[in-house]
Chains A and B, each alone.
Chain A
Amino acid sequence: MNNDKDIVRSILSGNEKDFSLIVDRYYQKLIYFFFKMNLAREDAEDIVQEVFIKVYKNLYKYNEGWCFTTWLYKIAVNTFNDLLKKKRLKTTNIDVDTLESDLNFKDLSIDNVHNRIIVKTMLDSMDNETKTIMILRYFYSFSFKDIGVIVNSSQDAVKMRVCRERGRLNKMFSENVKGVRSL
């Protein structure tokens, strides 16, 4: 069974063991999603577990007209937001003050530790919904339309938000980036 919808149908017709196929497919992706949302490992694992339990319980509500991945991430994002509201989750933020002395990129590599800290700092300056949108767009390559479905917004609004956020981040830090000339 390569198709998510076939797996769902199979589970609903009584083959519950097939749910492990869904877990196999999406466990890693969901864990990474919450890592990228700056959750600690324990929190990320707890929330992924909660998401899969919700997916299992509500599987019969899934509509074949929707993309399964979109539906699953919608549940994940809603669960994340619910837990944040209940303050059961705490995202780890980087202390921006320690970076103020040098906010310049060292080179064009994200593997550079300094650069990575700077970008993490940028991410911390975003609200959770914007961060969610950016991750869904650039880590998972979701379309603007699907992201709109996941975060309950319109396609155009998401597109505009991504564009503005990238512009804002670009302006946020010092213009001096070393290594640009090597392009």
Chain B
Amino acid sequence: MKCKYDIEFIQSYNDNCLCKEEKSEFERHMRNCSKCSTAFAKDKIMLSYFKKTPDEPLNNLHKQKLMNSIPSGRYSGNPKKYSFLYSINRFYPRLRFALLAAAVIIIIATILFNLSHVYNIYNTGASFFNKDTDDYYNGNNAVEDLIFDNTSTVTPLATLKPEEKDDISNEYSKDDNYLSDEELIMNIHSFFYEGEEYLIDYDFGIKKLTQSGDVEWHSLRVESYYESGYDYGYCNIFFCDGEWLYYTKVYSGGGSGEGPFDPNYGMFGKVKIDGSERIEYPGIEMLYPVFYDDWIYYRPNLFIPPLPLVPTYIHKVKRDGSSVTQVVSSKKCQYFFLKDGELYYWHTEYGARHVNQAEFIDMVSSFDINTGEEKFGFISIDQLYEVNEFKDIIEKTVRYLNELQTH
């Protein structure tokens, strides 16, 4: 007779998990099936071993010794504290899910809240100078770039026809001694040192502007690209006070996504123009830095994971690297700029606002650089010339462009 019972069934029998009919049927079967009866017996013996109380007697002396070894005073000394912790633990399982849910909501909300901000950062950067997409004429960004950068040359370029602009670029960018139009725009910030005029290079350092209009590298260079092999960033020299050059190295992300992340890549630093001394302050990465009253106002770099957790407020730091402070808590504050010696910040919705008085002033919030048509705001492009910082820069740029063309 073929046996239909397997070991699991026999285990169920031993565990008393069968109904009365199944039990009696199996018992009848076992009388004639040696295989089942043997398996049953072995399982039974094993179980009885597990169930059997050990033979070894207990050592009462040890129990007494154990009681003496229990430290005392923990709970009698501070019953309120431990009773409180105990009552908290009672709710922990439910509390755990609530905390988890709250954390997820906060993270999602932070990401969403930051998205527009991040978008603005991208939208006001170098894209203005992207000739491939013709963003030279993107008025929406143009004003912002003009204001914060102090180096922009929107007007002179806009006065050139696109073909002329391309000609300049093609002719001069082939030679390392000359700046391409993009380089020119980014590097037009200059300073005078020992009677010579120098241009600040966005990436590497200083280029000397000679009488003939030639450009040569100054011996001082500030390296920008990191040597990790994966990650990269750029260096922006943004200010010269006649003795020191102030620069910031900004982390831009992993080149291949495989490189190690080092939060100390980014820094704020200063170097003497003669190269004799250099001081760097790791961890301070500046976007749109501007000097005002011995302070440098800047937006911390956002390209540091985890993105939503990085503060996106405007900070200020003293030029000696001390006392980093958050100055504007509004996320609508995009960057700072100087006008008539006063410090303003650009509000992403309402335009410019005085940093101390917190009053809005009339500024252009958007215009078409090609046609000069103002979309919002109250001042024209001509009025922007009245801002001293822009006037100097624009004049220098025009002069330099003319020199290049002459050359």
- Interface segment among A80-88, A92-100, A167-175: the answer is A167-175
Measured between alpha carbons, how far is A123 from B48 in the docked complex, in Å? 13
B residues 10-26 near A (Cβ < 8 Å) are 11
Contact with A along B36-74 (1 / 0, CB 8 A): 011111111111111111101011001101110111111
Kindly list chain A residues whose C-beta atoms are within 8 Å of the C-beta of B47: 138
Closest approach, in angstroms, between the C-beta of A82 and any C-beta of chain B? 18
Contacting residues, chain A, for B35 (C-beta < 8 A): 175
Contact indicator A105/B51 (Cβ below 8 Å) = no
Nearest chain-B residue to A18 (Cβ)?
A: B75
B260 in the interface (beta carbon within 8 A): no
Does the CB pair B79–A13 fall under 8 Å?
yes
Distance (whole angstroms) from the CB of A139 to the closest CB of chain B:
5
A53 touches B70 (CB 8 A): yes
Check if A116 sits within 8 Å of B49, measured CB to CB: yes
The answer, among A64, A135, A163, A177, for a CB contact under 8 Å with B90, is A64
Inter-chain CA distance A141–B76, complex, in Å, is 35
Contact between B93 and A65, CB atoms less than 8 A apart: yes
Residues from chain A with Cβ under 8 Å of B46 in the complex: 119, 122, 166, 169-170
Q: How far is the CB of B157 from chain A (nearest CB, A)?
A: 67
Task: Please give the distance in Å from A94's CB to the nearest CB on chain B.
Answer: 13
Docked-complex contact A19 and B90, CB < 8 angstroms? no
Chain B residues with CB under 8 Å of A183's CB are: 30-31, 37, 40-41
Q: Does A150 contact B (CB under 8 A)?
A: no
Residues of B within 8 A of A11 (CB): 75
Question: A12-B83, A170-B43, A177-B41 are contacts. A60–B54 as well, Cβ < 8 Å?
Answer: no
Task: Decide if B93 touches A63 in the complex (CB within 8 Å).
Answer: yes
The main secondary structure of chain B at its interface with chain A is helix
CB-CB nearest in chain A for B61: A45
In the complex, chain A residues 57-101 whose Cβ is within 8 Å of any chain B Cβ: 57, 59-65
B42 lies within 8 A of A173 (CB): yes
A115 contacts the other chain (CB 8 A): yes
Given known A35-B54, A176-B38, A180-B34, contact A14–B76 (CB-CB < 8 A): yes
Contact yes or no, A53 B86, CB < 8 A? no
A65 touches B90 (CB 8 A): yes
Query: Is B50 within 8 A of A138, CB to CB?
Result: yes
The answer to whether the Cβ of A134 comes within 8 Å of any Cβ in the partner chain is yes
Interfacial chain B residues near A134, Cβ < 8 Å: 50
Are the C-beta atoms of B82 and A119 separated by less than 8 Å? no
User: Shortest distance in angstroms between B247's beta carbon and chain A's nearest beta carbon?
Assistant: 53
Least Cβ distance of B3 to chain A in Å?
Answer: 13
- Identity of the chain B residue whose Cβ is nearest the Cβ of A123 in the assembled complex: B49
Q: Is A145 part of the binding interface, using a Cβ–Cβ cutoff of 8 Å?
A: no
Determine whether B359 belongs to the interface, using a CB cutoff of 8 Å to chain A.
no
Contact A52:B89 (CB < 8 A) given known A35-B54, A105-B45, A108-B45 = no
Task: For B113, list chain A residues within 8 Å (CB).
Answer: none
Question: What is the size category of the interface that chain A forms with chain B?
Answer: 35 or more
Let me know if B160 is at the binding interface, CB within 8 A.
no
Of B52, B59, B72, B85, which one neighbours A16 at CB under 8 angstroms?
Answer: B72
Residues of A within 8 A of B230 (CB): none
A31 within 8 A of B: yes
A27 on the B face (CB < 8 A): yes
Q: Measured between alpha carbons, how far is A145 from B66 in the docked complex, in Å? A: 31
Select A60's contact among B51, B76, B85, beta carbons within 8 Å. B85
Q: Given the known A-B contacts A134-B50, A138-B47, A179-B41, are A61 and B56 also in contact in the complex, defined by CB atoms under 8 Å? A: no
Q: Are A170 and B66 in contact (CB under 8 A)?
A: no
- B73 neighbours in A (Cβ, 8 Å): 16
Q: Does A32 contact B (CB under 8 A)?
A: yes
Report the minimal beta-carbon distance from A161 to chain B, rounded to whole angstroms.
13
Tell me if B92 counts as interface (CB < 8 A to partner A): yes
A19 to B40, CA, bound (A): 44
A60 B58 Cβ-Cβ under 8 A: no
Q: Judging by beta carbons under 8 Å apart, are A175 and B89 in contact?
A: no
Partner of A119, one of B45, B65, B75, B83: B45
B44: nearest chain-A partner, CB-CB: A108
Interface flag for B8 (CB, 8 Å) = yes
Give the chain B neighbours of A65 by CB distance below 8 A: 90, 93
Q: A52-B66, A52-B70, A180-B34 are in contact. List 12 more A-B contacts (CB 8 A).
A: A8-B86, A23-B63, A56-B71, A59-B82, A59-B86, A63-B89, A64-B89, A123-B49, A166-B7, A177-B45, A180-B38, A181-B37
For this complex, 7 residue pairs linking A to B, each with C-beta atoms less than 8 Å apart, are: A49-B62, A49-B66, A60-B89, A137-B50, A138-B51, A139-B50, A166-B7
Closest 6 CB pairs of A and B: A138-B50, A14-B79, A119-B49, A35-B54, A110-B48, A14-B76
